Amino acid sequence: GAVVSQHPSRVICKSGTSVKIECRSLDFQATTMFWYRQFPKQSLMLMATSNEGSKATYEQGVEKDKFLINHASLTLSTLTVTSAHPEDSSFYICSVRGFGNTIYFGEGSWLTVV
């Protein structure tokens, strides 16, 4: 069964609106979760590290005011894309480090901004 659950798997939103993506760790508590983005035919790129109870750490070039990350509990991190634009259309995926540093990925979320 899934270790990390991500929702929604697909979402279409209008330009200028906000959309929230959830990442849940089902089998263990996760003080740290990672958010990645993948454009078509490109590598996955780390966007930010989500830290439970504190501010997320963003990678260079990722706007923290546009991609809001909240990690309010040990099992849930959310990524909110604010004021979405068509260029934000992408595949977003989260991951969690489990026992023995094994990495578990969510199912991913396809975002289309129209």
Partner 1 sequence: KNEVEQSPQNLTAQEGEFITINCSYSVGISALHWLQQHPGGGIVSLFMLSSGKKKHGRLIATINIQEKHSSLHITASHPRDSAVYICAVSLISGGGADGLTFGKGTHLIIQP
Site for partner 1 in 14-33 (CB under 8 A): 32
Name which position in 8, 68, 107, 112 contacts partner 1 (CB under 8 A): 107
Stretch that binds partner 1, among 21-29, 64-72, 80-88, 106-114 (CB under 8 A): 106-114
- Phi/psi of residue 61, nearest 5 degrees: 90, -5
Are 105 and 30 in contact by the 8 Å Cβ rule? The answer is no
Burial of residue 19 (number of CB atoms within 10 Å: 0-12, 13-18, 19+): buried
Residue 44 interacts with partner 1 (CB under 8 A): yes or no: yes
Q: Which of 3, 19, 1, 17 is nearest to 110 (CA)?
A: 19
Residue 68 or 98 with smaller CB distance to partner 1: 98
Residue ranges that bind partner 1, judged by CB under 8 A: 32, 34, 36, 38, 42-46, 48-49, 57, 59, 91, 93, 95, 97, 100-105, 107-108, 110
